[in-house]
Structure 1
Amino acid sequence: MLFLSVLLVALGFAVGALPLGYWLLSNLGVNVRLVSAHNLGVENVLRRAGTGPAVASAALDASKGFLAVLMASSLGSVSVCVLAGVAAYVGHLFPPRALVGSTPPRGRGNLVLLGVLTGLSVAGGVSAWLTLPALIVWAGVLGFTGFVSVATLSGVAVLAVLLSLSGTPDAVKFGAWALLAVSTWRFKENIGRVLDGTEPRVGEDVPMAGKRDDVVVAAFMIHPMTLKDFWQTKRFSWMRPLVERGVITEGTVRRLAAELRPMKVGELRGIRTAGGKEVRCYLLSSPLLPDVFRDQPELATRRAIEGAQLARELGASVFGLGAFWSVVGNKGEAVQAAVPEITITNGGAYTSGTIKAAIPGILEHFQAEGRDLREATAAVVGANGVVAFGIARTIAPQVRRVIMVGRDLERLERSANTLRRAAKDTEIITTVNVADIRDADLVFTATSDPNPVIFAQHVKPGAWLFDEGRPADVDEGVTQVPGVRVIPGGVVRPPGNMQTRVDLQFGEGQVPACLAETLIIAATGEYDRKSLGAQTKTENINFFVEEAERLGFQVVD
C-alpha cells in the first residue's frame, strides 16, 4: 500500500511536469519563451497564438491536474489523491530541465490547480462544498483586484483552512498547506510586483517587442547606490524600521540582496518620440550595493545575465546596463554572449555623446562669466577611461593646460602623447594623484569608483566641476567651497511626459544617458549601434547625438 501510494504521487509529479501546452505552442510556431508568466500567462497565449491554441493549451494544463488525482483515486485514499494533486502542481511549476531545456517556461499553474480541484471533487473523495468555496473566493478576489496571483493564493488559503477544519486525515491537511506554501513561493515575485505597483492586471495591455508598430519595449538594469535606496520598493520597505532598531543588521540585508535574482521594480511610461512612437521601459533590479561589483564581479555578472533573461521574457527588444552594471562582464560583452536573443548595451556611446553636446555650452557659460578660457587650467579625472579621455580630447585645444588624472600612469602617458600631437600649444600633465587638480579652473570627472574621489581639499575656490560619475565622483562637501559650481553630467530628458514610481535620482522626468541610449535603440531598431566592451565608435556617438535630437531627447546642462 505504501509503495503504491508513493508511486502514484510520483506519477502525479511526472504528469504535472509534462509541458504539454509548451510542446503544443512550440509545434504551432509560437515563441513560447515570450509567452511568459512574468506578464500574464493565458492572456499572452491568447494574444499571440489565438483562441484555439489558447483554449487547447489551457485544457491540456487542466487535464494534468485532473489525471494525477484520477490515477491516485484508484487506491480509494483521500490523502493520496490530495498529495498526488500537490505533486502535479509542483511538477508543473518546476519541471525537469530535460523536458523543457535550460530555461523552463514560467507557468503559474492556475489551470493545473483547477484540474486538481475538479479531480478531488469528482473522484478524489473531497466534497464539492470544500472545493467550491475556494473557487468562489478565487473568482471574487480576481474580479475585485484584477491580480491572478492574489486570487490564487486567496483561493488556496481558503481550501487549506476548510480542509483543516473538516476533520480530514492529517495527510490531507499537510497536502493542503503544502499546496499553499508552494503557491506562495511561486508567486512571491508577483506579490512583490503587486506591492510595487508593477504587476499587470487581467485585461491590461502588456506591450511586448514586435507586438505593435507604434509601441516599443526596452528594459534597464538598476541597483541601489546606498542602503537608503534599498527601501524604495515596498517589498523591502518593511525591513527599514527593523534595521533602524537593530533587529536586523545591515550585514543581513546585504546577504539577502546577494541572494536575490533580478526583479521588475518599476516602469517608465509616457515617453513618446517626436514621430509619435511610444517607448515603454521596464526597470529591473538585483539589489547589489556598489562595493559588491568590486568585490564579487562573478556574482554581478551572473545577476546581469539573469536580468537580460528576465528582460527577454518580459518582451523587451533591448536591455540596458546602468550604473555599475555597465562595467560587469567586460562592459556587457559576457552578458551579450550569454543571452544573444536580446540586444545588450552599456550606454557608453550616448553617454559620450551627451558630454560632447554639453561641453560647448559649459565652456561658453564659463567665458560668459568673464573667465579667460585660453588661460584656464582644466583637469580630467578618470582619464584612463574612454569617456573621460573623450572629454580631454575635446577640451585640450581650448585651454592652456590639461591635468589628466588616472590610475595607470603608463597608459595615461600614451593618451597624453596623442593629445600633445593634436593640441601642440596646450600643456598636458599626467598624474595618479587627484590632489594635483587643486590648480584647475575646470574639472571634468568620469570614473567608475563607487565612492566620491574629489573632496573639498582638492578644489580651489571658484572652480567649475562637471561630474559624469555615477555614483557621483564629487563629494557633497565640495559645494561648501566658495564660488564652486557642480554640474551633473549625462542627464537627459526623454520626449513626452515620462512617469515612474522609482526615483532614479536624476531629477523629475530625467534619466541618465545610458538609459536614454537604451530607449533610442528600441525606438529606432538600430540594434547594431549597441555599446559593448571598452571601445566606443565615433560613428555611433554621432548617431546617438543626431537621433536623440530627431526623436526629441534633450541633454540637460
Structure 2
Amino acid sequence: MSGSGTFAFTVHPRGRLREDLARAWRPLGLVPEAVYDAALRRLPLPPVTMATAQIGGERVGDVVLVPFGARHLLADVVGGRRRVGQAVDRAVALGADVVGLGALTATVTAGGMTLGERTDIGVTNGNAFTAAIVEDQIRLLLDRTAGGGSRPHIAIVGASGSVGSAVTRLLARDPAGARLTLIARTAPRLDALAADVADSVEVAVAHTIDAVADADLVVLLTASADTLLGPQHLAPGAVVLDATQPRNTSPDLRVQRPDVLIVDGGIVSVPSLRLRGGDIGLPDGRSYACFAETAILALTGHRGHFSLGNPTLERIDEIRARARELSHLGFRAAEPTSFGAPIALESRSAVIA
C-alpha cells in the first residue's frame, strides 16, 4: 500500500451509552447509564482515540470517539458540531490525511458541510459508498427474495436525506421494474426528488411510516436516535434493510413478526481489517460503509474533501472505481446478516445460518 495515506474515523456512543463506551474501555461498562447521560451532557470531555485500524497487517487509521451520545447530538446540534470539530482536530494531530464522519457526527455537521472550509485535512461523510453498498444490497435482496414476482415495491424511509436521495437516484438509473415510495417529513425536498426521477421510475411520496404497509422491501435510511419501525407497519413477508446508525429496528421485531426478514444494511467485507484497542460493534473483517469509504480514500491516495452534503452519482461511481482498485482487500458488500447473525437467503424467506 505504498503511496497511500492514513485516516481517522469519528464515532459516538449510540443508544446505550454504557454498552458503547465499554467498547472503548471495558471497565466503563460498570458505570450506570444515568451517570453517563449527565456526564456527557454537562462536562467538556475531550475526544479520545479509542482504536487503531489495521488492513493487510498495516496500521492505516484511527477511530476517534466523540464523547456525546446520539440523543445529545440531535438535541444540541451546536454543541455537537463543536465536539465533532474537536475530534477532527485530534485526527489532524494524529497525522490523518482524511477523516470520516460516522453516524450522527455527519448529521450534525450537515453531512460535513460545516467542515468544508478546513484545509488541514480532507473530510468525507461516507455517504457515497454507503449509497453504493445499499444499492448493491437492495438488488441482491430483490433478486433472491422476490420469488419471481413482477414490479417489486420498494419503500425508502428517509428518502430526502443524503444517502436516501442518492439511493433513490441510483435505483432510478436502473429501476429493474421496481416502483418506489419515497418517505420523509420534509415535503419540498421530497417532492423535488420525486419529480427528478419520475421520468425514469414509477414513484410516489408519503410523509409517515404507515406508507410502508404494502412494500415488499423497506429500506431504512433515517437519522433518528429511537427505534422507528414497528410490527404493525409491515406487510406479511416483508424484507427490511436497516442501514441506520443508531439502527431503527429492534431485535424484538424479529419475535413480534417472525415472517419479516430484517437485514443489516451498509455492511462491508474487508477480511484483513482489525481494530486494536476497541471496536465499533462489528466483528473483525467487517466495517460500516462510511468507515470503508474513508479507508478507501486514504488507501488510494485521495487528498482533500470528498463526500460533503448529498453525494452525486459521479462521486458514487468514483468511490466504486476506487474500491475496485482495492478489490484484493475486499471492500464489497458483506454476506447478509440480521442483527449480526449470518442469514441464508432463499426465495421469499431466509433462515438464520
User: Which TM class, normalised by the smaller chain length?
Assistant: 0.7 to 0.9
Letter in 1 for 2:279: D
The question of 1:300 aligning with 2:90 is answered no
Q: Deviations over 1:461-513 (max 9, x none)?
A: 21011111111122323222132111111111225352434231233321111
Cα distance in 1, alignment partners of residues 137 and 250 from structure 2:
22
Are the structure 2 counterparts of residues 408 and 289 from structure 1 closer, same or farther at C-alpha, using a change threshold of 3 Å?
Answer: same
Q: Which residue of 2 aligns with 1:262?
A: 47
Q: Which residue of 2 aligns with 1:222?
A: 11
Q: Which residue of 1 aligns with 2:22?
A: 231
Q: Deviations over 1:501-551 (max 9, x none)?
A: 423123332111111111111111122461112x31222211111221220
Q: Deviations over 1:363-409 (max 9, x none)?
A: 21123xx24042x3221111111322333344463346422210022
> Where in structure 1 are there 5+ consecutive unaligned residues?
1-211
| Secondary structure at the counterpart of residue 451 of structure 1 | coil
Q: Is the 8 A contact 1:347 1:515 kept in 2?
A: yes
Are the structure 2 counterparts of residues 330 and 241 from structure 1 closer, same or farther at C-alpha, using a change threshold of 3 Å?
Answer: closer
Choose the corresponding residue for 2:191, options 406, 413, 419: 413
Counterpart mapping for 1:81-480 below 5 A: 213=2, 216-225=5-14, 226-227=16-17, 228-234=19-25, 237-238=27-28, 240-243=29-32, 249-255=35-41, 258-269=43-54, 271-272=55-56, 278=58, 280-337=60-117, 339-367=118-146, 370-374=147-151, 376-395=152-171, 397-399=175-177, 401-423=179-201, 426=202, 428-480=203-255
Cα distance in 1, alignment partners of residues 274 and 102 from structure 2:
18
Q: Which residue of 2 aligns with 1:489?
A: 265
Are the structure 2 counterparts of residues 539 and 255 from structure 1 closer, same or farther at C-alpha, using a change threshold of 3 Å?
Answer: closer
Q: Is the 8 A contact 2:111 2:162 kept in 1?
A: no
Q: Which residue of 2 aligns with 1:519?
A: 295
Cα distance in 2, alignment partners of residues 537 and 526 from structure 1:
17
Are the structure 2 counterparts of residues 473 and 373 from structure 1 closer, same or farther at C-alpha, using a change threshold of 3 Å?
Answer: farther
Q: Deviations over 1:404-429 (max 9, x none)?
A: 21002233222222232212xx3x32
Q: Deviations over 1:223-266 (max 9, x none)?
A: 111212122333x835x44527xxx745433345x421111111
> Where in structure 2 are there 5+ consecutive unaligned residues?
337-353
| Secondary structure at the counterpart of residue 496 of structure 1 | coil
Cα distance in 1, alignment partners of residues 316 and 188 from structure 2:
27
Q: Which residue of 2 aligns with 1:505?
A: 281
| Secondary structure at the counterpart of residue 219 of structure 1 | strand
| Secondary structure at the counterpart of residue 261 of structure 1 | coil
Letter in 1 for 2:290: C
Q: Is the 8 A contact 2:240 2:263 kept in 1?
A: yes
Query: Which structure is richer in relative contact order (CA contacts within 8 A, separation 6 or more)?
Result: 2
Query: Considering only CA atoms, is the larger Rg found in Structure 1 or Structure 2?
Result: 1
Q: Which residue of 2 aligns with 1:59?
A: none
Q: Is the 8 A contact 1:220 1:321 kept in 2?
A: yes
Greater helix proportion: 1
| Secondary structure at the counterpart of residue 473 of structure 1 | coil
Q: How many residues align?
A: 327
| Secondary structure at the counterpart of residue 321 of structure 2 | helix
Letter in 2 for 1:355: V
Q: Which residue of 2 aligns with 1:120?
A: none
Cα distance in 1, alignment partners of residues 291 and 80 from structure 2:
19
Q: Is the 8 A contact 1:468 1:489 kept in 2?
A: yes
Are the structure 2 counterparts of residues 401 and 294 from structure 1 closer, same or farther at C-alpha, using a change threshold of 3 Å?
Answer: same
Q: Deviations over 1:121-141 (max 9, x none)?
A: xxxxxxxxxxxxxxxxxxxxx
Cα distance in 2, alignment partners of residues 330 and 312 from structure 1:
20
Q: Is the 8 A contact 2:119 2:304 kept in 1?
A: no
Q: Quote the sequence identity (%).
A: 27
The runs of 4+ residues in structure 1 deviating greater than 6 Å are none
Q: Is the 8 A contact 1:379 1:443 kept in 2?
A: yes
Q: Is the 8 A contact 2:132 2:167 kept in 1?
A: no
Q: What is the TM-score of this pair, normalised by structure 2?
A: 0.85
Letter in 2 for 1:406: A
